[in-house]
Structure 1
Amino acid sequence: MSNDRRRQRSVRILAASLMLAASAVFVAVAVVSASQGVLVAASVTAVIVGVAAARVITDEVLTTRRAWFKDRAEQAQAYRDISVDRTRENMEFIEAVNETLSITTRRITELNGTLRLAEARADESDARREELQREVETLRTDGDDEAAPSTMTLWDGADVPTIVDLLSWEATAAARAQAADEAADAEAEDKDAKDAVEELPEAKEA
């Protein structure tokens, strides 16, 4: 389209130039002939041709300027559309980044909460373990001689006893302590019975 417009513009300018050249030649011939009628006709023709050529050139200039303004307007509109598209793409990218950042921040917050909960549970477990260890040490100190070897065997080499081991040991120690108490009670009853039997002959002699 641009080449067609340039070709058309070149044809118009060439036609105007030829018209001006023809009028100039006609005036020169009229001057050489020295004929008043020919000179008047040449003058009128030159004026008409000059006006027509000026009109053609003026129209061409206006057409060229309008085409130039149109091209600039189209380029400006194209740049504006490109700017709008880029702005929209940037906004979409910013929204995507903000959404990703929000999700990441929420996950970090959740992980921090989980970590604090795990630390609290670990502290609670450590406190419970220390308490059970103190109870075990107390039972070791207060236990009888028969329970001591089994206690040492149970805890030998166990740096960190588990809750199941502690509860099992506590149940075993309680059972053995109860058995020892029952044996002591039975022994006391036997002793009382023997004393009663020994006192019967003395009572008869008296």
Structure 2
Amino acid sequence: MPSSISRAPSTRAPAARRRQRSTRLTVAAGLIAISALVVLGAVLSGSWLFVTLAAGLGVVLGAAATRITHSELMDARREAARDRAEQAQAYRDLTVTRTAEQAAHTATMQARIAAHEHTIGELEIALTSAQKRAAEATRKRGAEARRADVAEQEGRGLTVRLDESEERAAEAIVRVAELEQELDVLRAELAAWQTTPARRHA
């Protein structure tokens, strides 16, 4: 944007210089044409005086045209050098601007990379912690599974012992019933035996 603004006045200045240059070259060409006409007129007149004066005037006019052409050439060179200097300055300004933009872009990208690396580091730490927790949970789950297996085996053993105890208890109940029946028989026999002698004594 600044370069376009700075070039706006220079577009009008070269146009004015080109008009001035064309005017100077026209004047130089006119002087040469006048000197040629004067020399030709003097030659046609046949007078050596006129020829001599015309030759002197032609030399003066030619020198003036040469001077104007040389001055115009030097102005053109200076203008070209000034244009090249302006272009070089514009390129330098553009280079400075692009360098600043590149530096800003590089700083932004470096900041983003640093932020991404920080985030990656945090994620790696979180992943390591999660892996440790998962390993600990797996270990605890294995221990609990082993304890559950042991408890299940112990439970099966207790069930077997309980069944055996219940079976023994049932057998004991049956045996107690049998003993009670035997006791009742013995009591009956004892009672019968005790009453029998009393009848005999009577």
TM-score over 0.5 (shorter chain): yes
Distance in 2 between the 1:33 and 1:7 partners?
Answer: 38
The aligned length equals 148
Partner of 1:76: 88
- Counterpart selection for 1:62 from 57, 62, 74: 74
Q: Does 2:109 align with 1:97?
A: yes
- Counterpart selection for 1:44 from 26, 43, 56: 56
How far is the alpha carbon of 1:143 from its aligned partner? 6.0
Partner of 1:174: none
Partner of 2:37: 25
Partner of 2:178: none
Partner of 2:98: 86
How far is the alpha carbon of 1:11 from its aligned partner? 0.7
**Deviation digits for residues 89-116 of structure 1 (CA, Å, limit 9, x no counterpart):** 2222122112211211121111111111
Matches within 5 A, 1:115-130: 115-130=127-142
Distance in 2 between the 1:128 and 1:44 partners?
Answer: 123
Matches within 5 A, 1:11-22: 11-22=23-34
Distance in 2 between the 1:12 and 1:143 partners?
Answer: 123
Distance in 1 between the 2:145 and 2:159 partners?
Answer: 17
Distance 1:124 1:40, change over 3 A: same
**Deviation digits for residues 169-200 of structure 1 (CA, Å, limit 9, x no counterpart):** xxxxxxxxxxxxxxxxxxxxxxxxxxxxxxxx
**Deviation digits for residues 127-181 of structure 1 (CA, Å, limit 9, x no counterpart):** 2233234334444544699999xxxxxxxxxxxxxxxxxxxxxxxxxxxxxxxxx
Q: TM-score, normalised by structure 1?
A: 0.63
Distance in 2 between the 1:33 and 1:130 partners?
Answer: 134
Specify the code of the residue in structure 2 equivalent to 1:72: R
Greater Rg over alpha carbons, structure: 2
Specify the code of the residue in structure 1 equivalent to 2:139: A
Return 5+ residue gaps in structure 1 as ranges.
Answer: 149-206
How far is the alpha carbon of 1:38 from its aligned partner? 2.6
Distance 1:138 1:81, change over 3 A: same
Moved more, 134-143 or 46-55: 134-143
Partner of 1:187: none
Distance in 1 between the 2:156 and 2:93 partners?
Answer: 94
- Normalized per residue, which structure has more helix? 2
Return 5+ residue gaps in structure 2 as ranges.
Answer: 1-12, 161-202
Distance in 1 between the 2:158 and 2:150 partners?
Answer: 16
